[in-house]
């Protein structure tokens, strides 16, 4: 499938016709870039007027404190976008770094021209607004996980949300152990210990990033 056909199936370009599409890509000054795993796509402190649409791979938004401790505050997979808020707020300084979590290909787009109208611009603007709202909901869910008191409860909150998103008790998560620890802002060893205890209690099973929830629980907080 050509990249243009793939793009037309993404949420960002939903409702835009094939006839409008070439002119819109030109208007948005679309540019493709490839990054190796671990490469920095955008640095904290940068300014950008472009949003990124992930074509392949995975992107992590990472916040690092004064002592170098990292927290994954968001991620984007194929068909998803990042830096969209900054693209809509020229001059805003990035508070996170954006990293390639795998070999990744990105389509960068200037948001400002489409927000001013033009070929497909109105529909693109609606799609972008919907994705901004979706990002806000994702952050709200993460706050819900982080608000839990213990590592065990943070894990259960996150895994419960993943199971509901998957529509069943068996699912894969998009994070390895270190990334999951960074996402939940906990120590990796403590997280691994909590997972092992949950497995020993018969609450769940797991292998790498594949999980299966086995029983209902009473909440502890």
Q: How confident is the model at residue 68, as a pLDDT? A: 79
The pLDDT score that the predictor gives to residue 4 is 67
Q: What is the CATH number of domain 149-213?
A: 1.10.10.10
The confidence score (pLDDT) of residue 118 equals 57
pTM of the model: 0.75
Q: What is the pLDDT of residue 159?
A: 96
- CATH class held by domain 3-145: mainly beta
CB 68 within 8 A of CB 75: no
CA quadruple 167, 168, 174, 180: dihedral positive or negative? positive
pLDDT for residue 1: 45
Please state the domain extents for the chain. 3-145, 149-213
- How many C-beta neighbours within 10 Å does residue 158 have? 21
Residues of the chain with pLDDT under 50: 1, 220-221
Q: Where are the beta strands (DSSP E) in the chain?
A: 31-35, 40-42, 50-56, 59-64, 70-76, 81-82, 97-100, 104-110, 170-172, 204-207, 210-213
């Amino acid at each position: 499938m050509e990249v243009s056909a793939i793009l037309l199936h993404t949420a960002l370009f939903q409702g835009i016709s094939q006839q409008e599409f070439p002119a819109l890509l030109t208007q948005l000054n679309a540019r493709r870039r490839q990054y190796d795993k671990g490469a920095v796509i955008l640095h904290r402190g940068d300014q950008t007027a472009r949003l990124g649409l992930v074509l392949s791979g995975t992107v992590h938004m990472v916040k690092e404190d004064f002592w170098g401790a990292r927290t994954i505050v968001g991620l984007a997979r194929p068909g998803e976008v990042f830096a969209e808020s900054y693209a809509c707020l020229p001059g805003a300084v990035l508070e996170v770094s954006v990293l390639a979590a795998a070999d990744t290909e990105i389509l960068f787009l200037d948001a400002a021209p489409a927000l001013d109208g033009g070929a497909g611009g109105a529909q693109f603007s609606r799609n972008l607004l919907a994705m901004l709202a979706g990002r806000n909901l994702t952050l709200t869910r993460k706050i819900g996980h982080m608000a839990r008191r213990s590592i065990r409860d943070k894990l259960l909150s996150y895994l419960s949300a993943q199971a509901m998103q998957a529509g069943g008790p068996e699912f894969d998560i998009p994070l390895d152990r270190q990334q999951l620890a960074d996402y939940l802002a906990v120590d990796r060893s403590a997280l691994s210990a909590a997972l092992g205890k949950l497995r020993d209690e018969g609450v769940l099973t797991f292998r790498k990033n594949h999980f299966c929830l086995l029983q209902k629980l009473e909440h502890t907080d």
